[in-house]
Structure 1
C-alpha cells in the first residue's frame, strides 16, 4: 500500500513551523544575550551574526521525533523494532550534538575536548539503547527470519561494525561541522542527501532495484526499507527548511556547531541504518555525502604534507579557496555547488540499480570524475586570480 502523501507533508510542516518559530525566537534571545559570531580572518561573513540557528533545527526535530508515535504509529515489519531503534538513536545524537555544539559555540572548547564529546555521542546510543552500531546486523537477521554467517555477503562482524560506526559518526560529524562556513551550504547539502535517500527507499519498495545478495538469500525485503523510514527524512528536511530562510541568501543567523554537529551525526546514523552493517551498501549511501568527505580529506592531506597543524583553524578548504579566488557571493557559490550535489546524489541510484560490480564501479567513477572536475575548477580559479594580480 503506498504511503499517504499527507503524512509526509504533515511531518514536514510540523517540523518546519517548529523550526522557524524556535529559530526566530533564538535570534531574538541571542541579540539580547550577545551570542554573536564576530567576523575574523577565517570568517566568510563580514557582519556580526547570531550563531544559534542550529538550536531551532535540533529542538524542532527532537519535538517531532518525540511525538512521532502519537502522530503516525510506527508499524514494525518484524519482531525487532528497527524504526523505534532509529528514532531513539536520532534523538540521542541530536540532543547530544546540540549540547556539545552550544558549549563549543559559547566557550570555544579545545579540539581534543570536542573530539572526546563526539566519541561519547557516538558510543552512548550503543550503550543505552543497543542501537544501530553493532546491534544492527543481529537485529536484521532476526527481523528477516534468517541466520547470518558473519563475514559473508559483505556483512562485517558485530565488533567491526561497532568500530566502523563510531569512527564514521565522529568523522562525518566533524567533516560536516568543518564545511558549514557559507550561507545555506550545509542546509541544502543535507536536503540533497535526504532527497536521494528517500528516492532509494521508494524505489526499493516499488521493486525497481535488484535486492542485495544477503536479502535474496533470506527471501525478505531489507527490514530498514519500509514506508515509515521516510518519516525520519521528512522530519529532518522540515526542520532544515524552517531554518533556511533565516540563513539564506542573507544570514540572520548561522547554524553554528549547535546545528552542524547533530545534523552531521544524524546523516551518519541514517547511512548506517540504511546500510545495515553491509560495507558495500555503506559506500553507496556515502556518495551523496562525498563532496564534504572529499573536501575535508583533500584539505587534511594537503595540510599534512605541508607540515601544518591539522587542528588549527584555517580557510584552506576547497569551497573557501573558491570563494576567495572568485569573489562570488554565497548564493552564487551555492548555485555552482548544486550540480555537483545532484551528480553525486544521482550516482547513488546508479549504485543501487544493480548489484553487479561493474555497475557499482561505474557509479563510483561518476562520483570520482565529478569530484576531480570540482577540484580542477577550484585550482583553475586560483590560477586565474593569481594571473590577474601578477
Structure 2
C-alpha cells in the first residue's frame, strides 16, 4: 500500500497541507515543533482506533479553526488498480463524533482496516516494556489489527458488553440473571475471538523473529501472559470464559470491574541474546527490540495480506548510530512498501537508498526537499 496523496485541513498546526508521495521512503525534516509528528498522527487516523497519540478528537482541531478537521488520502493498492479515497475528521456541530468516508461513502472506522494497515513507532513508546499492561495490550492489539481487521469489531463489542455487565453488577441482588447471562455469553464469544487473534499474531510474529539475527537490532522473545505474569499456554474458549465470568460475579461486583479475562492479559518480552526480561534491559536495548519487532511484524503483514503496511517511524533515525541507521534504511528500502520517517535534520536522511520522497517543514509550510 502507498499513500499517494495526503491532504490535511485544520489538523493540529496545519491549516491546509498537501503531500504527494511515491512508494518507498518518505523523509520529513524540520525543527522541533513544526508539525512533523502531526503529519504522522493524521496518517494514523486512516486506520481504526484513536491514532498514535490516542488524543481526544477535539484536541486535533487547529487553534482558531471553526471546530472541525479533515484528513484525506488517496491510497494506491496496486499500480494496476485505481486509488482508494479514505477520509476522516469531525464537524463543528458534532465534535465528539468521528466521520469516516471510503470512496465518498460513509463507513465505520473499523472498515478502514480492510483497506490500509498502519504501524508506528514513536519516542513515547520507548518505555513500553516498563509501562502498564494496558499500554502493552493496546500495542499488541494494534499489531493484531494489521493482520486481522475484524479484531477491532470484536474488541469494541467485548468492551461494550463488559461495560453493560459492570452496570448490572452494581446491584447484583436485583440484576436480571437472564440478561446477565446473555451479556456474559457475548463477552465469552468476543473474548475468545480476541484471544485467538492475539495467539495467531504472536505465533506468526515469533516465527518471523526466530529467523532473524540478534544484530543489528535486538531480537525479542514474546509471550502472552495472564495478569499474574504466568504464560498463557492454552487459548481461551468461549465455554471457559462463560464459566469464568459466571463464577466471578460476586468478586467483580465487589471490585467494581471485571477482574479476569482477555482484557487482563499482558505481553511479556525477553531479550533473546541475554535472556533478560525486557523491563530490565537498557533503554537502548528496549528501543532496539521494539524496532526489531515492528520490522518483523511488517514482514508478517506482507506475508498474510500480500501487501506491506505503511510504517510511521517518528524520530527513530536520530537515536541510532550510523551503522544501525544505515541498516534500517537498507532494510526499509529492500522490503518495499512505504515508510514515513521524521527527523530534525536533513543530514539524517542523506544516505537513504532511493527512491526517497523528501519534505522540508518550516514556517507552517511543507515543501519538497
TM tier relative to shorter chain: under 0.3
The alignment's TM-score, normalised by the length of structure 2, stands at 0.25
The alignment's TM-score, normalised by the length of structure 1, stands at 0.24
Higher strand share: 2
Higher helix share: 1
Larger radius of gyration: 2
